[in-house]
Amino acid sequence: MMQNPLLADFDTAYQTAPFTKIKNKHFEIAFAEAIEMAKAEIDAIANSKEAPTFENTLEALEFSGEKLDRISSVFFNLNSAETNEEIQKIAQKISPILTEFSNDIILNEALFKRVKSVFENKETFDLNTEQHTLLEKKYKSFVRNGAHLNATKKEKLREIDKELAKLSLQFGENILAETNAYELHIEKEADLAGLPDGAKEATKMLAKEKGKKGWLITLDYPSYVPFMTYAENRTLRKKLAIAFGKRGFQNNALDNQNIVLNIVKLRYQRANLLGYKTHAHFVLEERMAENPEKVESFLNDLLVKAKPAAKLEFEQIGELAKKEGIDQLQKWDGAFYSEKLKKQLFNLDDELLKPYFQLENVLQGAFTVANRLYDLNFEEILTIDKYHDDVKTYKVTNNEGGFIAIFYADFFPRAGKRNGAWMTSYKNQWKKNNENSRPHISIVCNFTKPTETKPSLLTFNEVTTLFHEFGHALHGMLANTTYPSLSGTHVYWDFVELPSQVFENWCYEKDALSLFAKHYKTGEIIPMELVEKIKKSANFLEGMATLRQLSFGLLDMAWHGKNPTAITNVKNYEKDAFKGTELYPDVAENCMSTAFSHIFQGGYSSGYYSYKWAEVLDADAFEAFKENGIFDKETASRFKDNILSQGGTEKPMVLYKKFRGKEPSAEALLKRAGLLK
């Protein structure tokens, strides 16, 4: 019988996942067996005759289920980046089983009794800071997930969790299917007026790939965004925008309205069951923000400061549109006229910048900045197995040649990949038996593919996206903790965006840009006048951008910070939540919530505010770099030692103050955003 590659030890270079050997048929068998192995490990801990200690209970628990973790990370990462119907079916089947298993652990009374005993006697164990944190987190996670409930309530909790696991998967599958199903087929070249040559070529290539004549626009960002930004045909922009905005909202088999209502109601029931007022109260207890009231006041405070600026900017765009005979600016006009205004004000547009941002050079730029700051070196290695030809693989070392991490980069859209950009890991970092086991980190994006005549050239927005995800990757790569559940990006959710957002700042700095922004044909370094324009335009429409982020954060809180039981109409409820932040007229056919994957499929429920929250941290943190020089080794090393390498070993504010010497101030953010009057 063939050995199941998922159950064998990975005997590959650096123990990376053997993707080419893994077939879909291997997953269910591997999951079933790995769950049994993990159960046996848990039973051994729970039923041990020895008195509970930190080592035989907490540490043993932390390192249990290692095989299951690896299999899960391979499987669920593939389900996001390279899925197909078969994988989706397995996901639907396996998710409730995994939820059931994690509930078996959390609701195991004998196990909780041992954890509780260590927790109550913690003074008698000589624990260091990281051990203290692990004990506190594990104990809390038992309590917060039902360890104190009676048998009937525990059963109810299990049902809710199983149902939620299925619903969020279904939500994501529906969005992917609707994104893939839509195509705008253009047969008259005149309908592409305004579209830059590169974008035109990409749309032609897409049509050719699908065996069609003419040009094809899809709802994938690299196809959708250029069309919305440059196409002069307003009717087609409207058509495309409405198609994008009604994903999950078409009363068809892929509709997400009931799924949204079911998810929020189940989350609310779950929170109540556990003694919390709402899902947001439950979630925020373990965040820097602490409670929904604090989040709402944070968002509303920013709203007061951003709204006047946003209104002015909106009027400015509106004035420009009026000159072209458009009385009322609509959502499908926003990107188009914003781009025109940007060109007018700064004589700058993406088409002018793109030749300087060839994907390979930008990636190399991120590597160089990481080297200058943190002494990391990236070497492409071709001997590592990958799940798709597009993926690039790198070995990361320090200046002494010591092995730091494996890094995967996956940049182009395809049918099996969901939209957006994210960082993930295939293996955590940890320390055990005197070995520092290093992580395998991946970033996944959806950038413009190379065409027959041009390499992949990025918009400036894509450049900052790459740096953003790479900032998360650094958090994962530089992890240096003992326990996997405290390693890398395993931190409070409103702290996790600090490393990613702070790294974006280098994209605006002349000293950094001159390292990688080179013309793809001539090799000429980006002219300083363009760098100045990038800097000057950094705050362009910042009021509107802030308002947009705040509207998403407020919508998230509306769904999760209140009792949702009486809500029957997703669209009406959403409209109400958006009231204070709306600039454009509402589009009846569109709904944001039914495609709001961050909160209904990803882990951002009650956490969308954290992008803005972390912006306060990142603006304040980058001030330290600016004060001492953006490549200052001492500042970089303080950031690495206190934040990047520490994971979740201490409370975020403690770590931040160790780096900065003080709490962050929102002034830095308002100053950077040009919102300080």
Sign of CA dihedral 534, 538, 541, 547: positive
Cα 502 to Cα 621: distance, rounded to the nearest angstrom: 7
Bridge partners of 216, per DSSP, are: 185
* DSSP H stretches of helix in 47-107: 60-62, 66-81, 85-106
Residue of 66, 173, 462, 469 marked catalytic: 469
Cα 651 to Cα 564: distance, rounded to the nearest angstrom: 32
**How many helices (H) does the chain have, and how many strands (E)?**
27, 9
Contact 345, 537 (CB under 8 A): yes
538 burial level (CB within 10 Å; 0-12, 13-18, 19+)? middle
122 burial level (CB within 10 Å; 0-12, 13-18, 19+)? middle
Contact 362, 57 (CB under 8 A): no
Cα 474 to Cα 500: distance, rounded to the nearest angstrom: 8
Q: Give 335's contacts (C-beta < 8 A, 6+ positions apart).
A: 225, 228, 229
Bridge partners of 435, per DSSP, are: 432
Cα 303 to Cα 581: distance, rounded to the nearest angstrom: 8
Judging by DSSP bridges, how do beta strands 440-444 and 403-410 pair with one another? parallel
Cα–Cα distance list, 582 to 220, 252, 298, 302, 554 (Å): 25, 28, 19, 15, 12
Structure tokens at 413: 């859209």
Q: Would you say how long the chain is, in residues? A: 677
Cα 133 to Cα 651: distance, rounded to the nearest angstrom: 8
Cα–Cα distance list, 550 to 3, 310, 451, 615, 667 (Å): 51, 12, 37, 12, 18
Q: In 3-state terms, what secondary structure has residue 591?
A: coil
Contact 160, 273 (CB under 8 A): yes
Q: Does 469 qualify as catalytic in the annotation?
A: yes
Bridge partners of 324, per DSSP, are: none
Cα 197 to Cα 394: distance, rounded to the nearest angstrom: 33
Cα–Cα distance list, 659 to 375, 638, 648 (Å): 19, 6, 15
Catalytic site positions: 469
